[in-house]
Amino acid sequence: MSSISSLGIGSGVLTSDLVDQLVEAERAPTDTRLAQKTEEAEALISAYGTLRSAVTELRLPMRQLSSPDNLMAFSASSSNENIGVTVDSTTASRGTYSVEVTSLASAQALASRDIFADRDSTSVGQGTLTLSVGSSTVDIVIDDSNDTLQGLANAINDADAGVSAGVIDTGNGYQLVFSADESGTANSVSISVSGDSEGTDTDHQGLSRFAFNTDMDVDSGLQETIAATDAVMSINGVEVTRSSNSFENVIDGLSFDITETGSSVIKVDQDFDAVADRVESFVEQFNVLQSAIDGLAGYNADSGVGGLLSGDSTVRSIQNQLRQVLTRVVEGLEDSSVRSLADVGITTNYETGELDFDRDTFISQLKAYPDDVTALFAEQGRTTDSQVEFVRSGLDTEPGTYDINVTQAATQGNLQAGTALAGGIAIDDSNDELTLQVNGELSVNIQLSQQTYASAQDLLDEIQSQLSSNSALNAADTSVQASLDENGNLTFTSETYGSESSVTLSSADNAATFGLDTATATTGLDVAGTINGRTAEGDGQVLYLDSGAGGASGLQVRILGDETGSRGSITFVEGIAERTVDLITSFVGEDGALESRTNSLNQQLEDIAESQAALETRIEAYRERLVSQFSAADSLISQLNSTADYVTQQFEALLSSNSD
């Protein structure tokens, strides 16, 4: 008997289609249930994503309001467009200033008097050029490799000496031109020559044709085509000088950019509308969040259908916590004129749950109670000692009042001469240069003008002038103050406070001239003391507590002055915006409610995928079992059919023989 090659051949009934129908009937209930669960989980993930996005968007305007600076916006105007003014609200204050610009800053420019026949072949002479710009000095060697006008220009440009050089084709020949990279008299250029291969170093032959200083006579090799000048302006009659046309922080919070001489009236006013705009942005974003929650978790009474997240505990928790923060009386403001959002015109619409903003009320309260409105939104530290300043709080700082006690005031590092500075001192090549080491790493070189100073005060003024214009100090955003103590001894004091503050003498042409041959260097001390009775750390003038130090953990205060003992107390107020930012971060952070819920749903999807895989395995086994059973049955039916055919044939044969 031949084998059966496919289902149904033997029976005509137990076919592959029947197997497929039975398998599908077995799969369908579980498959439908898993598909529904997948659809529900994905819909919830999408809903939580929408909610997360709306919650996160609220953080930006609240973060802006959590900064006190953003609640004290200022604007400045100038009556002369050529005298521009910008304002930094963190340090500005109201005021009106009369400004008169009498001089613009310019960079010095020089040109060779000689005209050269060729820029690339005519010799200019060999030797060493020494370029001095401000306190910087660079030597440039001219030899066979660069003994041309263009070679000289290239060597100067490559030296990065604060001077740029170029070659001009006049039509009748070539001239070398120099220009200082920076404007101002402090960046004037001085050029000397040594080892001139053609004549002496000062005869204006060969390389010495390019020597120059302002004291040289008019027949020198270089001529000054543009003199270096400083920008000069007077503010309310007080003259101010800068080496550039930008005057930064000449008045607290104000910077000027000038393009022409002239006069202007500068007005600085608090920009109440700018602050109101920031608050309105918060209200609008909160209402966007409330609208998103209504769409996801609201209930439509007309249709009787609730949102996908209707009744969800996570949504209720977010709403309740935000409502508690936004409607509470801020701790520390209980006795203030402004205690809650309602006091500044921000109220809850009980029909919609959204916030209403009365702009006029807010601006009126901001004008009347600026400190209280600031504390309502931003963190604030209110000290009882005017020389104690709040710096910042930490993540664990709790609202409250904390006592401050100082056992060691911060001090500045200084260098003090051993003998008094005398009058009538002549400064020349032998004693015109000092090099100080400031705050451990900063090398500061000062070069004094060579002349005789009639009094110690005159020499002190020159030293301070050089320190004030020193490029190294300015680049490091620090300063050194020169003074005379009660004995007339010269003293250098670092602007910085604390253990990193120091001034030492690195070198001096003649230290005895200034009494510095027996100088004493003293390193500064960090502030020390307690906050809330706990020993605090000191960093310069900043006294602070690390984490794990109770309610004042992370609190930082700046201690000014030199008084020790009790320095009063600080009341830390955590405003609504600061608290809301922390709350939102807790919602959307790694361990937050939204992240936890989303992770749970993603785990459900993974479990569903595993169930789907298990279903496929079970269904495949079921199919194989059906095929095996159907094959066996089909084979049996085929055998029975064969037997039936055989019996039928035998009966037919018998009948045929009997009929014969």
In a domain, 333, yes or no: no
Percentage of residues of the chain with pLDDT beyond 70: 94
pLDDT value of residue 1:
35
Q: Do 395 and 444 sit in the same domain of this protein? A: no
What count of other Cβ atoms lies within 10 Å of the Cβ of residue 522? 16
**238-242 vs 174-180, strand pairing mode:** unpaired
Is residue 100 predicted with pLDDT exceeding 50? yes
- Average pLDDT of 496-516? 93
CA angle 505, 502, 448 (to 5 degrees): 40
The mean pLDDT of the chain is 87
Q: Count CB atoms within 10 A of the CB of residue 457.
A: 13
pTM for this model (two decimals):
0.65
Give one DSSP letter per residue of 405-441, joined into a string.
EEEE---EEEEEEEEEPPSSEEP-TTT-EEEEEETTT
> What pLDDT, on the 0 to 100 scale, is given for residue 542?
97
Each residue of 211-220: pLDDT tens digit?
A: 887 665 456 7
The C-alpha angle 244, 249, 252, rounded to 5 degrees, equals 160
As a whole number of angstroms, the distance between CA 166 and CA 61 comes to: 53
Q: What is the mean pLDDT of residues 600-604?
A: 83
CB 299 within 8 A of CB 306: yes
Per-residue pLDDT tens digits for 559-597: 999 999 999 999 999 999 988 988 888 888 877 788 888
pLDDT at 3: 37
18 part of a folded domain: yes
Residue 464 predicted with pLDDT over 90: yes
pLDDT tier at 14 (50, 70, 90 boundaries)?
low
Instruction: Specify the pLDDT at position 73.
Output: 80
Mean pLDDT value across residues 289-295: 88
The predicted pLDDT at position 2 comes to: 38
Phi first, then psi: give them for residue 346, nearest 5 degrees: -115, 110
* pLDDT at res. 634: 67
Range with lowest mean pLDDT among 131-140, 176-185, 399-408: 131-140
Give yes or no: residues 654 and 583 share one domain: yes
463 Cβ contact list (under 8 Å, min separation 6): 446, 448, 482, 490
Average pLDDT over residues 423-432: 91
533 burial (CB, 10 Å; 0-12 / 13-18 / 19+) is exposed
- Residues 198 and 305 placed together within one structural domain of the fold: no
Half-sphere exposure of 169 (CA within 13 A, CB side): 4
pLDDT in tens, 320-339: 999 899 988 998 899 899 99
Structure tokens at 155: 């060597």
Say yes or no: 280 and 306 in one domain. yes
If asked whether residues 622 and 475 sit together in one domain, one would say: no
Nearest to 480 by CA among 462, 472, 468: 468
What local confidence, expressed as pLDDT, does residue 5 receive?
Answer: 46
Would you say residue 219 lies in a domain? Answer: yes
Domain boundary among 270, 298, 326: 270
Q: What does the pLDDT read at residue 396?
A: 87
Percent of the chain predicted with pLDDT > 90? 52
Q: What pLDDT is recorded for position 219?
A: 60
Residue matched to tokens 């309602």: 342
Looking at the fold, whether 143 and 192 belong to one and the same domain comes out as: yes
Which structural domain, as residue segments, surrounds residue 188? 109-226
Residues 399 and 531 in one domain: yes
- Helix or strand or coil: residue 463? helix
* pLDDT at 658 (0 to 100): 66
User: 582 with 654, same domain?
Assistant: yes
Whether 583 and 482 share a structural domain: no
Banded pLDDT at 10 (limits 50, 70, 90): very low
pLDDT at 139: 93
Residues 68 and 80 in one domain: no
Tokens at 127, concatenated? 């030797």
How far is Cα 48 from Cα 315, in angstroms, rounded to an integer?
A: 9
* Cα(53)–Cα(30) distance, integer angstroms: 34
For the CA atoms of 346, 347, 348, 352, the dihedral, rounded to the nearest 10 degrees, stands at -80
Residue 145: Cβ within 10 Å count: 10
Least trusted range by pLDDT, from 134-138, 280-284, 359-363, 471-475: 134-138
pLDDT of residue 378 exceeding 70, the answer is yes
Q: Which of 209, 241, 270 is the last residue of a domain?
A: 270
Q: Is the pLDDT of residue 617 over 90?
A: no
Asked whether residue 581 is assigned to any structural domain, the reply reads yes
Looking up tokens 């007309």 gives 302
- In the listed set 216, 251, 270, which residue is the last one of a domain according to the structure? 270
Is the pLDDT assigned to residue 246 strictly greater than 60? yes
In angstroms, rounded to a whole number, what is the distance separating the alpha carbons of residues 66 and 576?
8
In a domain, 396, yes or no: yes
Q: Is residue 591 part of a domain?
A: yes
Position 532 pLDDT exceeds 60: yes
Kindly tell me if the per-residue pLDDT of 9 is higher than 60: no
Same domain, yes or no, for 516 and 565? no
Tell me how many domains the chain contains. Answer: 5
Using pLDDT thresholds of 50, 70 and 90, give the confidence band for residue 299: low
Residue 297 has pLDDT above 90, yes or no: no
Confidence of residue 474 (pLDDT cuts 50, 70, 90): confident
CA distance 655 to 301: 87
On whether residue 434 sits in a domain, the answer given is: yes
pLDDT at 7: 53
User: Contact at 8 Å (CB) between 540 and 497?
Assistant: yes
The residue assigned the tokens 């100073």 is: 453
- Largest Cα–Cα distance in the chain? 166
Is 346 inside a domain boundary? no
Same domain for 311 and 173 = no
